[in-house]
């Protein structure tokens, strides 16, 4: 492994640092852009935030104490400061999730399934140059009120990595999954997911395209019903020339289901030839279902191509007519179109274990 990858592992925050930082940033609030759409009042205040903090937060979640007040009382007051600012990213570490660290050798060809057996999990993967890796993330079988997982994934030059999950509907009341992904030159990462969960959840991704030609492909599908409330927060940093990112998020929402998609693309100075696209397609199957979308583009270089789009609608009326005009009952026709809408999300993926798993679960 290179020096850079070793640094990657060494630079991961400790529990003390995470607690100190959490006390500094406080509990998530709606006026924090990372949590604009999330029902933050549903997040219980962890004990390590301190009694004063918990009491004041419970009384008025929007008025958490200033970070410095509580940080001064922290047992981790001497820990070096860290900059990470996403509550969900720090939560597993602050809860002493034991990191599962795995290094994958240069040129390796591996398939793996990752499953966390605790409420809080932390997985660290350091993937070598030219490696080909397929990672399926399985659900952890915890039964508590909150679960949080964090994945730190460093992808070496020209490695090809697929990360995916398509688990059965999960009814955990509150779940966070956070991914930190660093990609070296020429590294390809395809992140694909299907979520049918029935409660509250959030997936957050910070992807750093650090090397020239790195490519990040994100595809997500939410099929939600009832009171499900699922939220996605992506930040993609194009930090090198000719890096490419693609985001496709599709939602099929029934009942009172709610989805939000908060996707930011940041293109740095001197990052010529960057190409980035973001597309969110939602089909609302009921009056009470809703979607919120917030695209953010911060571009600090001229020679780039960035697009974003958002569509919200119902099933295509002409397609419905075509199917029923062939004798297919309306309900079956709706199901066919919903399946088609869902499958289209993943059709462009190369043939791989991820594509097979995702398509078979639809």
Tell me: does residue 279 bind other proteins (CB under 8 A): no
Instruction: State the burial class of residue 285 (Cβ atoms within 10 Å of its Cβ: 0-12, 13-18, 19+).
Output: middle
Alpha helices for the chain (secondary structure H): 3-10, 15-25, 51-59, 67-71, 87-94, 317-324, 330-344, 353-360
Give the integer Cα–Cα distance in Å for 261 and 3.
36
Give the integer Cα–Cα distance in Å for 346 and 357.
10
Tell me: does residue 337 bind other proteins (CB under 8 A): yes
Tell me: does residue 329 bind other proteins (CB under 8 A): yes
Q: How far is CA 162 from CA 109, 111, 152, 165, 193, in A?
A: 12, 9, 14, 10, 11
The site for other proteins, by CB under 8 A, has a size of: 24
Rule CB under 8 A: choose which of 98, 141, 298, 330 binds other proteins: 330
Instruction: State the burial class of residue 58 (Cβ atoms within 10 Å of its Cβ: 0-12, 13-18, 19+).
Output: exposed
Query: Is the Cβ–Cβ distance between 26 and 64 less than 8 Å?
Result: yes
CB of 353 to other proteins, least distance (A): 21
Tell me: does residue 350 bind other proteins (CB under 8 A): no
Tell me: does residue 348 bind other proteins (CB under 8 A): no
Rule CB under 8 A: choose which of 68, 317, 351, 360 binds other proteins: 317
CB of 251 to other proteins, least distance (A): 16
Name the region of 161 (left: φ>0; alpha: ψ -120 to 50; beta: rest). Answer: beta
> Is 79 or 359 the residue whose CB approaches other proteins more closely?
359
CB of 285 to other proteins, least distance (A): 17
291: Cα separation from own chain's centroid: 17
> Is 220 or 235 the residue whose CB approaches other proteins more closely?
220
Query: Is the Cβ–Cβ distance between 246 and 214 less than 8 Å?
Result: no
Tell me: does residue 349 bind other proteins (CB under 8 A): no
CB of 321 to other proteins, least distance (A): 6
The strand pairing partners of 248, in sequence order, are: 219, 279
Stretch that binds other proteins, among 157-165, 197-205, 318-326, 349-357 (CB under 8 A): 318-326
CB of 269 to other proteins, least distance (A): 40
Tell me: does residue 314 bind other proteins (CB under 8 A): no
Rule CB under 8 A: choose which of 328, 334, 353, 361 binds other proteins: 328
Rule CB under 8 A: choose which of 321, 348, 350, 356 binds other proteins: 321
Rule CB under 8 A: choose which of 46, 336, 353, 361 binds other proteins: 336
CB of 324 to other proteins, least distance (A): 4
> Is 303 or 344 the residue whose CB approaches other proteins more closely?
344
> Is 93 or 252 the residue whose CB approaches other proteins more closely?
252
Tell me: does residue 9 bind other proteins (CB under 8 A): no
**b/e code 24-57 from CB counts within 10 Å (16+ = b):** bbbbbbeebebbbbbebeebebbebbbeebbebb
The strand pairing partners of 265, in sequence order, are: 236, 297
Rule CB under 8 A: choose which of 292, 312, 324, 353 binds other proteins: 324
Rule CB under 8 A: choose which of 341, 349, 354, 357 binds other proteins: 341
Residues found near other proteins in the complex (CB under 8 A) = 317-319, 321-330, 332-333, 336-337, 339-344, 347
């Amino acid at each position: 492994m290179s020096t850079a990858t070793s640094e990657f592992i060494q630079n991961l925050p400790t529990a003390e640092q995470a607690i100190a930082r959490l006390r500094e940033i406080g509990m998530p609030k709606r006026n924090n852009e990372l949590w604009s759409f999330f029902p933050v009042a549903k997040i219980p205040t962890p004990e390590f935030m301190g009694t004063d903090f918990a009491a004041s937060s419970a009384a008025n979640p929007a008025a958490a104490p200033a970070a410095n007040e509580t940080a001064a009382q922290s047992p981790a007051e001497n820990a070096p400061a860290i900059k990470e600012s996403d509550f969900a990213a720090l939560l597993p570490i602050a809860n002493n999730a034991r990191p599962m660290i795995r290094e994958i050798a240069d040129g390796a060809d591996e398939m793996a399934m990752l499953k966390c057996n605790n409420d809080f999990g932390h997985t660290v993967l350091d993937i070598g140059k030219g490696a080909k890796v397929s990672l399926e993330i399985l659900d952890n079988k915890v039964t508590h009120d909150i679960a949080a997982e964090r994945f730190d994934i460093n992808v070496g030059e020209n490695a090809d990595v697929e990360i995916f999950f398509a688990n059965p509907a999960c009814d955990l009341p509150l779940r966070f999954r956070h991914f930190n992904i660093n990609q070296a030159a020429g590294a390809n990462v395809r992140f694909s997911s299907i979520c049918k969960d029935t409660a509250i959840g959030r997936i957050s991704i910070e992807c750093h395209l650090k090397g020239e030609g790195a490519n990040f492909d994100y595809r997500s599908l939410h099929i939600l019903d009832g009171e499900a409330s699922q939220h996605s927060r992506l930040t993609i940093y194009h930090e090198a020339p000719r890096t490419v990112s693609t985001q496709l998020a599709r939602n099929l929402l029934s009942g009172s289901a709610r989805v939000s998609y908060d996707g930011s693309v940041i293109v740095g100075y001197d990052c010529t030839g960057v190409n980035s696209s973001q597309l969110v397609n939602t089909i609302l199957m009921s009056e009470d279902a809703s979607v919120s979308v917030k695209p953010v583009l911060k571009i600090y270089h001229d020679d780039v191509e960035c697009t974003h789009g958002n569509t919200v609608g119902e099933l295509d009326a002409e397609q419905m007519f075509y199917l029923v005009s062939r004798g297919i009952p309306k309900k079956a026709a709706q199901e066919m179109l919903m399946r088609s809408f869902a499958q289209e999300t993943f059709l462009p993926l190369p043939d791989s274990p991820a594509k097979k798993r995702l398509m078979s679960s639809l």
